[in-house]
Amino acid sequence: MDSRVQTALATSAPERARALQPLLDEHGAEMDRRREVTPEVVDALVAQDMLRLLLPRSLGGQELHLLEYCKTTEALAWADASVAWFINQSNVSSATSAAAMPHDSALAVFGDPKIGLAWGARHGRSKAIRVDGGYRLTGTWSFASGGRHTTRLGAHSATQNPDGTPHIRYGKPDDRSFVFLRSEAKIMDDWQVLGLRGTGSDSYSVEDLFVPDERAPARDALQERRESGPLYTIMSTLLYATGFCGVTLGLARRLFETYVDLARAKHSRASPNAMAVNNAVQREVGLLEAKLSAARAFLHEAVCQVYDAAAAGKLDVDLRLRLRLATTYGMNEATDVAIASYRAAGTTAIMNSGPFERRFRDALSASQHLQAMMPHIEMVGRDIIGVDNPIQHI
């Protein structure tokens, strides 16, 4: 069968994500212990076509509306944050790479529904030397979320000429993303971390690896973008931010709901009243619901504004900054809700066998990601005030 033909899916992506929740719940503790997604969950994700949510339709992907996408990562994270994190990382990486690759090459790499893509962040210690037909890539990268379950890895690097000078393209130093087989890299089993353990985000390295031009896209360069859909106009940074914000909101929602269930049944030894009739508990539950719902509503509003503007060819810096604000704010508000829910549960929350401990570790780990850092909000504040403002990460 031609993999470019997308089989009609019976339900929406968020609905398919919710259908996976019982399985993810069942395997959550084991994925945390193994530091990777279990084979059963990987198979279920593929069966629900969760690795091609943002992939161009021309390659058999779903090319979802961005609002549907962030609802999907939220629904997955409600059950297991590591799975949702992996799904966001792989989808954005695959889709933005494919949109900047020649069609036949992108189809060969990403056409199979089982193919995902994992890679680490760009840094200044790698080398990609320009040679005939491609590049010679050397370097080590970290945080390849989901890399134990993808046949493809990738890496980002500045490029240079054989004489060591920067390679210039489009009037500036050329940065590329390089896509290669996982089997071509050396994998380091170093993912020993507080939370999001199931992502299996190992480090990896390659030495003098030849990567052909057609698998070395400049994924956010307008000059190389082959796909014209709104997603590929929004570009990678804000797509990652939207998906990861959805992850943190889903995770916080689960912790909050678990706290509410506890409050309905528990009598705290620190108070003469049952939690359910304690005014302080009632007030906190109401405020946490408002905090989480407000952050989610702001995210959804900004997502729709950006997506609609991109579809109309009118996406500007102001709207990009608004989505940056919504995603960073949402991740931080979600973290606050997760922490408050954990603290309110008392000693119940510290038990490995309970519903709080693993998800609390996941929430704290997610809060440390670049997408949640406060300098993003400071950048938006400078723009509102009207002072000198280097724009980045939008």
pLDDT in tens, 22-78: 999 999 999 999 999 999 999 999 999 999 999 999 999 999 999 999 999 999 999
Residues 332 and 308 in one domain: yes
Total domains in the chain come to 3
**Environment class of 198 (CB within 10 Å of its CB; exposed 0-12, middle 13-18, buried 19+):** buried
**Residue 377 in contact with residue 333, Cβ under 8 Å?**
no
**392 in a domain, yes or no?**
no
Residues 239 and 378 in one domain: yes
Place of tokens 């031609």: 2
Residues 96 and 190 in one domain: no
**111 in a domain, yes or no?**
yes
CATH (domain of 17): 1.10.540.10
Instruction: Give the span between the Cα atoms of 252 and 391, in whole angstroms.
Output: 30
**194 in a domain, yes or no?**
yes
Q: In a 3-state reduction of DSSP, which class is residue 299?
A: helix
| DSSP letters for 268-293 | -TTSSS-GGG-HHHHHHHHHHHHHHH
Please state the rounded mean pLDDT for residues 176-196. 97
CATH (domain of 262): 1.20.140.10
pLDDT in tens, 256-290: 999 999 999 877 666 667 889 999 999 999 999 99
180 is in which domain, residue-wise?
A: 118-221
The chain-wide mean pLDDT, for the chain, equals 95
The alpha helices in the chain, defined as continuous H runs, are 13-19, 21-34, 39-47, 66-79, 81-98, 103-110, 230-234, 236-265, 279-311, 317-344, 357-366, 375-385
Tokens of 308: 């609609």
**Residue 89 in contact with residue 25, Cβ under 8 Å?**
no
Residues 259 and 123 in one domain: no
CATH (domain of 150): 2.40.110.10
How confident is the model at residue 122, as a pLDDT? 86
How confident is the model at residue 274, as a pLDDT? 85
| DSSP letters for 326-372 | HHHHHHHHHHHHHHHHHHHTGGGGG-TTSSSHHHHHHHHHHTTSGGG
Of 190, 221, 252, the residue at which a domain comes to its end is 221
pLDDT in tens, 118-170: 998 888 889 999 999 999 999 999 999 999 999 999 999 999 999 999 999 99
Of 168, 197, 221, the residue at which a domain comes to its end is 221
Of 198, 221, 244, the residue at which a domain comes to its end is 221
Q: Is the pLDDT of residue 6 over 70?
A: no
**Residue 357 in contact with residue 350, Cβ under 8 Å?**
yes
Residues 52 and 99 in one domain: yes
Residues 170 and 284 in one domain: no
Q: Is the pLDDT of residue 393 over 50?
A: yes
Please state the rounded mean pLDDT for residues 84-109. 97
Tokens of 63: 């090319």
Instruction: Give the span between the Cα atoms of 230 and 25, in whole angstroms.
Output: 34
Q: In a 3-state reduction of DSSP, which class is residue 85?
A: helix
How confident is the model at residue 270, as a pLDDT? 65
Residues 129 and 183 in one domain: yes
Residues 78 and 143 in one domain: no
**2 in a domain, yes or no?**
no
Residues 204 and 248 in one domain: no
**7 in a domain, yes or no?**
no
pLDDT in tens, 323-335: 999 999 999 999 9
How confident is the model at residue 4, as a pLDDT? 39
Compute CA distances 219 → 98, 100, 222, 371, whole Å.
8, 5, 8, 19
Q: Is the pLDDT of residue 2 over 80?
A: no
Residues 158 and 102 in one domain: no
**26 in a domain, yes or no?**
yes
Q: What confidence category does residue 187 fall into, taking pLDDT thresholds of 50, 70 and 90? A: very high
pLDDT in tens, 358-391: 999 999 999 999 999 999 999 999 999 999 988 8
Residues 161 and 247 in one domain: no
**94 in a domain, yes or no?**
yes
Q: Which one, of 240, 266, 264, lies nearest residue 121 by Cα?
A: 240
Q: What confidence category does residue 249 fall into, taking pLDDT thresholds of 50, 70 and 90? A: very high
**372 in a domain, yes or no?**
yes
The alpha helices in 102-228, defined as continuous H runs, are 103-110
Q: Which one, of 88, 42, 44, lies nearest residue 69 by Cα?
A: 88
Residues 104 and 209 in one domain: no
**Helix (H), strand (E) at residue 128:** strand 127-131
